[in-house]
Chains A and B, each alone.
Chain A
Amino acid sequence: MGPEIRDALASEAPALRPLLRSNPPAESPLSWLLSRQTFWVFLVTVIAFVVLTLATDSFATQQNLFNVTRNFAFVAIIALGMTAVIITGGIDLSVGSLVCLTGMVLGVVMNAGFGIWAGAGAGLLVALAVGAINGLLIAYVGMPPFVVTLGMLAIARSLAMVASNNRMIYTFGPDQADLLRLGGGTTLGIANPVIVLVVLTLVTGYLFRWTQWGRHVFAVGGNEQAAMLAGVPVRWIKISVYMIAALTAGITGVLEVGWLGAVTTNLGQSMELAVIAAAVIGGAHLSGGTGTALGAVIGAALIEIIRNSLLLLGVDAFWQGTFVGSFIVLAVMFDRLRGWRFAD
């Protein structure tokens, strides 16, 4: 292009500016809300809730709601950690096995006569160590997260079998009552795991929105190269998200053993799928760069409500996977369609 043509266009530019403006108009609060996947999933969850309340006598009972909230809390707690991993563009397939390994370490330690602090502490330390190994292999060796955590999925469950000699553990030494109360008890009428979930959701939301760490997690998922050039400690950020995912799996492991009152080596089997589904339905893109704490929780709630409603409506349990799977596909497809409409 010759400079004369460009200069001619440039002198026209002020007149053309309103037409050429590429700035989208300032977003109204309503259009902001409508552009959030979290909002739509929340809406679907509320509708499902209302429909079930009207359609069945058994859904809106205190006992059932108590069960629903407690059941989804286990998945939702890990979905918070998984969301951090997914925002960086990674994935962690080892969380289900890690629930089992943490629970087993807790069980073995308490079974040997140690207290609940020693048991939970040992379990969570093992979880953090596994998360650190995942993170180191991914950040420093540069291996794909899928491969590293798939390997860890097998390793962690196998170690749980080794630790327990594949036995079921159901006696937890002197602090057994404390453990059962921690996972199965209530505080002010709310199941303890739900309280833990609420606290962790607030903490995660705070970390994402208000800390430099949170900003860097999003930056790594948005453009890793750019983050590196800007001086973001990319490797440390990656290690930290895998450690956080592992920690949330560990916390769930401790609570779930307390609720069940026993640990077997199939605890948390295929749980990683429900967790990833919750995070994705809640708006975390597997390509990285987006996701919210609240979205992960709402995603987990929706999955549990679907599961629970099928149960209450008398649908054969074999159909559960079909419904949950369809919702995952629908949520992502919906997001894709919205992406096309808003595409520049």
Chain B
Amino acid sequence: MQLFELRNISKNFGAIQALANVSVTLERGQVVGLMGDNGAGKSTLVKIIAGNFPPTHGTLAIDGRPITFHKPIEAREAGVEIVYQDLALCDNLTAAANVFLGRELRIGFGPLHVLDHGGMVRRTALLFQELKAETRPRDLVRRMSGGQRQAVAIARTRLSDAKILLMDEPTAAISVRQVTEVLNLIRRLREQGLAIVLVSHRMPDVFSVADRIVVLRRGRKVADKSIANSTPEEVTGLITGAIDGA
């Protein structure tokens, strides 16, 4: 079932064409590995999906309905959540405070509203449990490992009823054991029916968790195939241009 469709997307920045006629389809319960060298157009594509800017040409559709994003908030309201590469967390706050940042739970007595600390901690604990993450809601993010931070960033996206999750290099800066943890997190999110885009440079991670792989080179899509029909060697060739297309 097609959930999110990018059709014939092009993006020009002045005279530079960052993306040329790229079409990608995201499906529920599927992880798409998005690969490509620096400057291949990965981040431009991610930013279009995230609503940072609209494409110059081409259309986006969710569940068959055409849609346009002008601001990130519009994408979020449509069910697109992003885990940023630098994770975008506040080190000085607890995990629970970060998960609920910008959408804090409050309890009110008449006109007076106070933060519902207990409620936020309990909801966060449930989210971590659901993700089987070893992270405690009351811990300060400053004292967390890379994997735990990743869990906090992912738990944030689970608050809303997200359908599409963009992950930008989630395994770039963390230790080996934590990479395993994060890949497990991604598998669990897939089981819950999310469509996931995994932007990564790390071939082993993509091959261990993705169902499909999309390779961009110089703004063009040069491959879009099932992981089972590909090999790391082929993908490396596609990224560098040693192999023309597949």
- Chain A residues within 8 Å of B72, by CB: 229
Nearest residue, chain B, Cβ from A20: B177
Name the CB-closest residue of B to A87. Answer: B92
In the complex, whether A29 has a CB less than 8 A from a CB of chain B is no
Q: Mark A287-311, 1 if CB is under 8 A from B, else 0.
A: 0011000000000000000000000
From known contacts A211-B115, A212-B115, A227-B101, infer whether A3 and B204 are also in contact, taking CB-CB under 8 Å: yes
Known: A23-B139, A212-B104. A6 touches B90 (CB 8 A): no
Closest-by-CB residue of A relative to B88 is A226
Q: Name the CB-closest residue of A to B114.
A: A210
In this complex, how many residues of chain A approach chain B with their Cβ under 8 Å: the count is: 36
Report whether B101 and A23 are in contact in the complex, using a CB–CB cutoff of 8 Å. Answer: no
Minimum Cβ distance to chain B for residue A224 (Å)? 9
B208 at the interface (CB under 8 A from A): yes
Q: Are B145 and A22 in contact (CB under 8 A)?
A: yes
Q: Which residue of B lies closest to A344 (CB)?
A: B143
CB A208 to nearest CB in B, in angstroms, measures: 11
The reply to whether the CB of A130 lies closer than 8 angstroms to some CB of chain B is: no
Please measure, in the bound complex, the distance between the C-alpha atom of A2 and the C-alpha atom of B202, giving whole angstroms: 10
* Cβ of B235 under 8 Å from chain A: no
Contact assessment for B176 and A226 in the assembled complex, using a CB-CB cutoff below 8 Å: no
Q: How long is the Cα–Cα vector from A10 to B147 in the complex, in angstroms?
A: 14
B89 close to chain A: CB less than 8 A: yes
- Distance in angstroms between the alpha carbons of A24 and B103 in the assembled complex: 28
Are B90 and A223 touching (Cβ within 8 A)? yes
CB of B155 to closest CB in A, whole Å: 13
Contacts of B106 in A (CB 8 A): 212
Are B204's CB and A219's CB within 8 A? no
A4's nearest neighbour on chain B, judged by CB, is: B204
If A22-B145, A212-B115 touch, does A219 touch B134 (CB 8 Å cutoff)?
no
A211 vs B105: C-alpha distance when bound (angstroms): 10
Q: Which residue of A lies closest to B97 (CB)?
A: A215
Structural contact, B90 and A13, CB atoms closer than 8 A? no
- In the complex, chain B residues whose CB is within 8 Å of the CB of A24: 139, 143
Complex-state Cα separation, A102 to B57, whole angstroms: 58
Answer whether residue A221 sits at the interface, using C-beta atoms and an 8 A cutoff.
yes
In contact, A218 and B93 (Cβ under 8 angstroms): yes
Question: CA separation between A223 and B87, bound complex, in Å?
Answer: 11
State which of B86, B97, B139, B177 has its C-beta within 8 Å of the C-beta of A10: B177
- CB of B69 within 8 Å of the partner chain: no
Known contacts A22-B148, A23-B134, A23-B136; is-contact A231 B103 (Cβ 8 Å): yes
B144 at the interface (CB under 8 A from A): yes
Report which of B87, B115, B156 forms a contact with A210, defined as CB distance below 8 A.
B115
Q: How far is the CA of A16 from the CA of B176 in the complex (A)?
A: 13
B180 within 8 A of A: yes
Q: Is A1 an interface residue (CB 8 A)?
A: yes
The residue from A1, A3, A13, A26 contacting B207, defined by CB atoms under 8 A apart: A3
- Per the 8 Å Cβ criterion, residues 195-236 of A in contact with B are 209-212, 214-215, 218-219, 221-223, 225-227, 229-232
Interchain CB contact under 8 A, A13 and B177: yes
Find out whether the CB atom of A9 lies under 8 angstroms from the CB atom of B177. Answer: yes
Least CB distance, B160 to chain A, in whole angstroms: 11
Chain B residues with CB under 8 Å of A1's CB are: 176, 204
CB distance from B71 to the nearest CB of A (A): 11
Q: Which of A2, A3, A218 contacts B92 (CB 8 A)?
A: A218
> With A229-B84, A289-B92, A344-B143 as given contacts, are A10 and B103 in contact (CB-CB < 8 Å)?
no
Q: How far is the CB of A216 from chain B (nearest CB, A)?
A: 8
A290 engages B114 (CB within 8 Å): no
Bound-state Cα–Cα, A222 to B141, Å: 11
8 Å CB interface, B172-224 against A: 176-177, 179-180, 204, 207-208
Mark interface residues in A272-285 (1 if CB within 8 Å of B CB, else 0): 00000000000000
CA distance A221 to B142 in the complex (A): 14
Closest residue of chain A to B145 (Cβ to Cβ) is: A22
Q: How far is the CA of A227 from the CA of B104 in the complex (A)?
A: 13
**A6-B184 Cα distance, complex, nearest whole Å:** 13
Closest residue on chain A to residue B146 by CB atoms: A22
Quick one: given A1-B176, A225-B88, are A231 and B102 in contact (CB under 8 Å)?
A: yes
**A9-B180 CB under 8 A given contacts A2-B204, A211-B114, A230-B102:** yes
Least CB distance from A283 to B in Å reads 12
Please name 4 further chain A to chain B contacts, defined as beta carbons within 8 Å, in addition to the given A22-B145, A229-B72, sorted by A numbering.
Answer: A6-B179, A210-B115, A226-B101, A229-B84
Query: Could you list 26 examples of A-B contacts with CB < 8 Å?
Result: A3-B204, A5-B176, A6-B179, A9-B176, A10-B177, A10-B180, A22-B148, A23-B134, A26-B136, A209-B115, A210-B114, A211-B113, A212-B115, A215-B104, A219-B90, A219-B97, A223-B89, A225-B86, A226-B87, A227-B90, A227-B102, A229-B72, A229-B84, A230-B101, A230-B103, A344-B143
Give the 8 A-B CB pairs with smallest separation, nearest first. A222-B90, A289-B92, A230-B102, A231-B102, A222-B92, A226-B88, A22-B145, A3-B204
Interface residues of A (CB under 8 A from B): 1-3, 5-6, 9-10, 13, 16, 20-24, 26, 209-212, 214-215, 218-219, 221-223, 225-227, 229-232, 289-290, 344
